[in-house]
Each structure stands twice: as C-alpha cells, then as structure tokens.
Amino acid sequence: MGSSHSDLREHEVQHLSETTGFSSEQIRNLHKRFKNLTHNSDTLSRGDLEKIGDLTFNPIRSQIIDAFFDKRNFRQDEVGTVEEIGFEEFLTVMSHFRPLNQELTQEDKDKIRKEKLHFLFNMHDKDNDGIITLDEYRQLVEELLSNSAIEGETSKSIADAAMLEVASVTMGQMAPDEVYEGITFEHFLQILKGVEIESRMYIRFLYVDTTTMRCGK
C-alpha cells in the first residue's frame, strides 16, 4: 500500500483523492511533507514522527504518534500495529484530522463525524478490546496533566472521579455490586452527543495545518 515512487502519478493522485477527500493539490503538498519527514524514503517510522518539534509538548503526543501505526485507522477493517507506513496510510490518518466541509449533506456529515469519533476512541483504547478502561483513561488524564503542578496521586483521583461520572451518565444508577468495566464506543458517542468536536480535531506539524484541509469536496 502507498506509493513507491518519488513523484506521484496522476492515477495515484486520483485514487488517493477519492479515498481520502483531499484535493490533488493537497495530496501533492502532503507528499512533499512526507518525503521531507522520511528523508526521501518510501516509508515513515515512529522515529521520524518523534523528531517533529511541534509534537514535543503536545500532552497526547504518544497517542497521536501511535495512531499513525494503528491498522484500525487505515479504513481496511484490520487490527494490530505496524512499524512503518507508506504515504497512503499517512494520508488516510491525516484525513481524520480535517474539519468538515459545511456543504456536505447531513448524512455525509454524520458519517464523517462518526469516523472521527471512532478514530479518537481508538487512540485511547490501546489494547483494542472495544473498551476504554479506567487504566487507559487514567493514563490519558495523567498525560494531559503532566505539564501542570498536579501530582500523580491527585491526577489518578481526578481520572477515577471522571470515570465514575461517565458511568453515571451512560449506565444510570448502578447496583452496589455492579462493576463498570469502562467506556464502550456507544458510550463514547453518548458522552459526546451534541459536542462539536470536528473542528477541534486538528494537528499542525512540518508546516501542515489540517484546519485548512476540509473533509469532502
């Protein structure tokens, strides 16, 4: 998967445009960025992304980098991880960060929103069991609070309290002996219902600003 050529052919660009929604110009621009990242190689490694300065202080840096090597994000109904990716996988993951084109039909907007939320869910469901567990959620909270003055035990308490709040929202009143295993994707959709998340999902690195690259044509 992905191009094995330094320069993309027209039919490759057309295919990538149809599968990701990027314009031909955006694809060629992103291909140049990809080649810059990989030092003109055909594949991108974790090490290439870890060298990006703009990601250094991002509180969910590790999740963003992991997302590029998670097969669930390649739209191929596969699971697992890979060590390196080609340009097509890179482009597919990048497309998850693009804001919606407001000219799309409501049906298409709903579809893209669900894809974006699934992408976000996958970022935190690291063991691919369909549930964001308390440990996974706690790790996320700790990473988000890593640059603050809040100590580890306090961040754990915050994560525990937040998970209990999620349980009350999604499950209602629970029995004393009932155990809340974690957030399912359906719970995730319920929690974020009515929250405009699409325009907040963006990344900026290596002169690529996904806020200007909209989903849809």
Q: What is the pLDDT of residue 3?
A: 43
Q: Looking at this protein, which amino acid is placed at residue 131? A: I
Q: d(Cα 163, Cα 160) in Å, to the nearest integer? A: 5
Q: pLDDT digit string (tens) for 5-40?
A: 457 899 999 999 998 888 899 999 999 999 999 999
Of residues 130 and 180, more confidently modeled: 130
C-alpha torsion sign, points 67, 68, 70, 73 = positive
Quickly name the fold that domain 17-133+182-207 has: Recoverin; domain 1 (1.10.238)
Q: Can you give the pLDDT at residue 157?
A: 75
Q: Are 153 and 131 in contact (CB under 8 A)?
A: no
* Residue-range domain boundaries for the chain: 17-133+182-207
Backbone angles phi, psi at 156, to 5 degrees: -65, -40
Q: Say what the pTM is.
A: 0.76
**% of the chain surpassing 90 pLDDT:** 27
Residue type for position 202: Y
Q: Give the tens place of pLDDT for each residue, 107-162.
A: 988 888 888 889 988 988 988 889 988 778 777 766 666 655 555 567 667 667 76
Q: What's the start-to-end Cα distance of the chain, in Å?
A: 24
| Count of other CB atoms within 10 angstroms of residue 35 | 16
- Phi and psi for 59 in degrees, rounded to 5? -65, -20
> What is the reported pLDDT for 30?
92
Q: How far is CA 152 from the centre of its chain?
A: 26
Q: 164-173: b or e for each residue (b if 16 or more CB lie within 10 Å)?
A: eebbeebeee
